[in-house]
Structure 1
Amino acid sequence: MPLVDLPLEKLVTYEGRNPRPEDFDAYWERAIAEMKALDPQIELRPSEFQVPYAECFDLYFTGVKGARIYAKYVRPKQSTSPHPAVVQFHGYSGSSGDWSDKIQYAALGYSFFSMDCRGQGGLSEDAGGVKGTTLRGHIVRGLDDHPDQLLFRDIFLDTAQLAGIAMNMPEVDAERVGVIGGSQGGALTIACAALEPRVKRLAPMYPFLSDYKRVWEMDLAKDAYQELKDFFRRHDPQHKREDEIFTKLGYIDIQYLADRIQGEVMMAVGLIDTVCPPSTQFAAYNKIKAKKSYELYPDYGHEGLPGFSDKTIQFMLGL
């Protein structure tokens, strides 16, 4: 097996490099309080896409800072009692995608929610002064402002808010809700379960947005992390603000949210991942105190991991 990061025996004890802000817990308690004070103004519209055994809806709600957030919602037609639900998050700059990969859970008798991240490739708004998409630059958005203006703070809150909305649906059993996603979606899976601790099971795949300083030190601030390098080159070319910048990024570093998770975790890692290095993923995994396991793919990087979708469905059948 080629080695692009630490050997496995060191990965399983690695604790991360990025600094943790001193007021991290207070920061997120304040953010959660802001989210819970919102009137979400939930709207359900029947979608043009429908299948015989499920109902498909376009779901809209209002998140922090007034942004309207979009999610696809699929529920089984023949359910007579509250049933489990799964919430899905997509990769960086993408969207919730097609309906066709959502309806498989309805066939199992589950409801399914899939969110568009604000300002990326779908229909959710970025309310930062303009309507419509902003697509990239979301990691560094807000670095020159108050930490409450970090865009991923708001996206993390959107995930928890959607999970809470799912739990409050009369057809959903609030104690049987799971969360899934890969890359950015894997990071949001961890953030969601941390900020909405009622999430029962979560299956993140090679999570993004973890241990930024480690990414930088490995010279992997490219691909999905390219904006880190661009930010330094344009706004701090001599790295005079390096400590300040990485500390501020610590507010949106999933490794420091991971210890809040209460649900059971199954995480997938490709050991030759050069987009989200394995050590950054284990920095988060190793801080999880709940029941957890990982699925290793020694010869795989940031790509489809054979069998993990099937493992995820089997895992979610335990809700």
Structure 2
Amino acid sequence: MPLVDMPIEKLMTYEGRNPRPDDFDAYWERAIAEMKAVDPQIELLPSEFQVPYADCFDLYFTGVGGARVYAKYIRPKHAATPHPAVVQFHGYSGNSGDWMGKLAYAALGFSVFSMDCRGQGGLSEDAGGVKGTTLRGHIIRGLDDHPDQLLFRQIFLDTAQLAGIAMSMPEVDPERVGAMGGSQGGALTIACAALEPRIKRLAPVYPFLSDYQRVWEMDLAKDAYAELKDYFRRHDPQHKREAETFLKLGYIDIQHLAERIQGEVLMAVGLSDTVCPPSTQFAAYNKIKSKKNVEIYPDFGHEGLPGFDDAALQFLLQL
């Protein structure tokens, strides 16, 4: 097969390049405490879109920093109570998408929660207020400020907060909640299950936001990761702060969160992926300590993976 990264034997043991800050655990424990102290001020509004077998809501909640975060919420009408739920996350710069794509899970008796990421293509707010550049990317947003100001810290916390909100719904069984998403959504699936360890099953697809230094060293800081190269070119053209930069990015590197996951994992990777290189994905996968399995697509890149949506559905049906 074409080789865009390491051979599969090395991928299965690769442990990542991006450094992990010494205070990483304390950083995230402090972040979780901040999230739990927020009054979410949950608002449920019936959506204009409705179907006969489920109630569809526009859900808003307040996240860390005061931003209002939006999610679509579909509640099946005739499912047993309590019943399972799934939280869904979208790709970089996108949004939660059409209601139609969530109805299969609702028809099968799941409540479905699908979040818009702050400041991207949907309705969730970016509260702003960071020092330094905010040009062309959310990875670098807050990079010139205190680590607590990194935007993906806030987005990761939003995922966990939404999962907690889902688990608090009287119709949802908190012991039967799953998470899923692809690319950025795959990264957020991993972050969600790491920060909300009650997530029982998760199905991430070619996760983004992993092993930033490896991406840069492979000269793949383009496409979804282009902001990394742009940041260095504009703000550190001689890479005098390279070590400091990658260390700070380590706070929002999902490979370092992955070991916190307690739920069962079904992950999909395309070995021809030049957007999220396979080694960066395996850096996260190899750190997962819970029960896990990876479905490998040798000839596929950052694209639809035939059969995996069906496999993920069958996997989540076991909740």
Give 1:95's aligned residue. Answer: 95
Is contact 2:267–2:295 with CA below 8 Å preserved after alignment? yes
Moved runs in structure 1, 4+ residues, more than 4 A? none
State the shift of 1:80 in Å. 4.0
Give 1:167's aligned residue. Answer: 167
In 1: Cα distance, 2:135 partner to 2:266 partner: 29
In 1: Cα distance, 2:79 partner to 2:267 partner: 30
Pairs within 5 Å for 1:122-141: 122-129=122-129, 136-141=136-141
State the shift of 1:136 in Å. 4.5
For the pair 1:209 / 2:215, whether they are aligned, the reply is no
In 2: Cα distance, 1:94 partner to 1:151 partner: 16
In 2: Cα distance, 1:177 partner to 1:240 partner: 45
TM-score, normalising length: structure 2: 0.98
Give 2:179's aligned residue. Answer: 179
For the pair 1:285 / 2:285, whether they are aligned, the reply is yes
Give 2:18's aligned residue. Answer: 18
Give 1:145's aligned residue. Answer: 145
Pairs within 5 Å for 1:215-230: 215-230=215-230
Amino acid in structure 1 at the alignment position of 2:249: L
Is contact 1:61–1:70 with CA below 8 Å preserved after alignment? yes
State the shift of 1:81 in Å. 1.5
Amino acid in structure 2 at the alignment position of 1:148: D
Amino acid in structure 1 at the alignment position of 2:113: F
State the shift of 1:289 in Å. 0.2
What secondary structure is seen at the aligned counterpart in 2 of 1:13? coil
State the shift of 1:103 in Å. 1.1
Is contact 1:93–1:136 with CA below 8 Å preserved after alignment? no
**Structure 1, gaps ≥5 residues long:** none
What secondary structure is seen at the aligned counterpart in 1 of 2:273? coil
Query: Alpha-carbon deviations, 1:144-197, whole Å to 9, x = none?
Result: 100000000000000000000000000000000000000000000000000000
State the shift of 1:129 in Å. 3.9
What secondary structure is seen at the aligned counterpart in 2 of 1:102? helix
What secondary structure is seen at the aligned counterpart in 1 of 2:246? helix
**Structure 2, gaps ≥5 residues long:** none
Give 1:240's aligned residue. Answer: 240
Query: Alpha-carbon deviations, 1:102-146, whole Å to 9, x = none?
Result: 11111101100000000000000000149xxx8951000111100
Give 1:72's aligned residue. Answer: 72
Give 1:264's aligned residue. Answer: 264
Is contact 1:93–1:135 with CA below 8 Å preserved after alignment? no
State the shift of 1:79 in Å. 2.5
In 2: Cα distance, 1:71 partner to 1:212 partner: 28
In 2: Cα distance, 1:157 partner to 1:61 partner: 12
In 2: Cα distance, 1:203 partner to 1:83 partner: 19
Amino acid in structure 1 at the alignment position of 2:106: A
In 2: Cα distance, 1:145 partner to 1:228 partner: 16
Give 2:29's aligned residue. Answer: 29
- Taking only aligned residues, the RMSD between alpha carbons, in angstroms, comes to 1.1
In 2: Cα distance, 1:136 partner to 1:8 partner: 33
Amino acid in structure 2 at the alignment position of 1:251: Y
What secondary structure is seen at the aligned counterpart in 2 of 1:86? strand
Amino acid in structure 2 at the alignment position of 1:51: V
Give 2:157's aligned residue. Answer: 157
State the shift of 1:101 in Å. 0.6
